[in-house]
Structure 1
Amino acid sequence: MYDVYQIMAGDTIDSIANKFGTNSSVIRQLNPNSGFGVGSMIVVPVTNQYFDIYTIKKGDSLYEIARKYNTDYNLLAMLNGISTNDYIYPDTTILVPKKDVKYYFTKDNDTLSSVNKLLGSNINNLLRQNKNIYLREGQLIVYKD
């Protein structure tokens, strides 16, 4: 589920991310065309329903974290706007998918109908849980039964 947030004077990407319990890479990924100027409207995740927040420990790798949470490490990287080969720094936080939620990054030419079918979702619930579905390539869609 997403909300729309208007950037205020003094906001930074990091402060917005902290306000919504996420990280700056997720904010950037959800808003690839935003200049992040004062007054801009951006999409922010409502993370507590769909993600857990994990603090990186020394020696962690995306692969090990993904295995620990029984998820795909490519999905873990995409959710956090990083490459699977990127170094992850201790004491930083990442989003980890919750087990009962389905995730999909849109592709070119996706339609609401095709995404709905792929996720096996109820169209009304899909729209309620993703208030701002623009179906631009790379948009994260979440669905929870």
Structure 2
Amino acid sequence: MYDVYQIMAGDTIDAIANKFGTNSSVIRQLNPNSGFGVGSMIVVPVTNQYFDIYTIKKGDSLYEIARKYNTDYNLLAMLNGISTNDYIYPDTTILVPKKDVKYYFTKDNDTLSSVNKLLGSNINNLLRQNKNIYLREGQLIVYKD
């Protein structure tokens, strides 16, 4: 889940990262072609409510990180758009699911009603927490009570 942010006079990458509950390396990774000048539009993660950010250390594996955070490593891979077999590089960051949030990747033929039922959610809250629900296969839907 991402937002677009316009860089204002006096902004620094670190200040923007702090504002959005992330770190500067994530901002740079999401915006590789940005000059980060005043007026530039950049993509920023909306992570603080649904995800934690973890900086990969030398020797880490997705499996070990998933175990450390008591989450499923397949979910961890899907959230980060990588395969469970991919090499993860030290000093890069990944999103880690928070324990009190439910995550669902949509499948063909899902309806808002079926997703709502699977997550045990309230439709109004589901729509509020997910700005754009297209129900295309593979879309991430999050729900927090």
Contact kept? 2:55, 2:93, Cα under 8 Å: yes
Moved over 4 A (4+): 1-45
Task: Return the offset for 1:129.
Answer: 0.2
User: Which blocks of at least 5 consecutive residues in structure 1 are unaligned?
Assistant: none
Contact kept? 1:29, 1:81, Cα under 8 Å: no
Query: 1:32-56, CA deviations, whole angstroms, 9 ceiling, x for partnerless residues?
Result: 9999999999996521100000000
The structure number with the bigger radius of gyration is 2
Q: 3-state DSSP class of the match of 1:4?
A: strand
Query: What TM-score do the two structures reach when normalised by structure 2?
Result: 0.74
Query: 1:2-36, CA deviations, whole angstroms, 9 ceiling, x for partnerless residues?
Result: 64669999999999999956699999999999999
Q: Which residue in the other structure is 2:72 paired with?
A: 72
How many residues are matched? Answer: 145
Q: Return 93-102 or 19-28, whichever deviates more.
A: 19-28
Contact kept? 1:105, 1:137, Cα under 8 Å: yes
Note closer, same or farther for the CA distance 1:78–1:37 as it changes in structure 2 (3 Å cut).
farther
2:20 maps to 1:38: no
Contact kept? 1:20, 1:44, Cα under 8 Å: yes
Task: Return the offset for 1:142.
Answer: 0.3
Task: Return the offset for 1:131.
Answer: 1.1
Contact kept? 1:6, 1:39, Cα under 8 Å: yes
Contact kept? 1:26, 1:79, Cα under 8 Å: no
Note closer, same or farther for the CA distance 1:34–1:91 as it changes in structure 2 (3 Å cut).
closer
Query: What TM-score do the two structures reach when normalised by structure 1?
Result: 0.74
Contact kept? 2:52, 2:95, Cα under 8 Å: yes
Q: 3-state DSSP class of the match of 2:78?
A: helix
Higher relative contact order, chain-length normalized (CA < 8 Å, sep 6+): 1
Percent identity between the two aligned chains? 99
Contact kept? 2:25, 2:93, Cα under 8 Å: no
CA distance in 2, matches of 1:13, 1:105: 31
Instruction: Quote the RMSD (CA, aligned, Å).
Output: 4.6
CA distance in 2, matches of 1:88, 1:57: 9
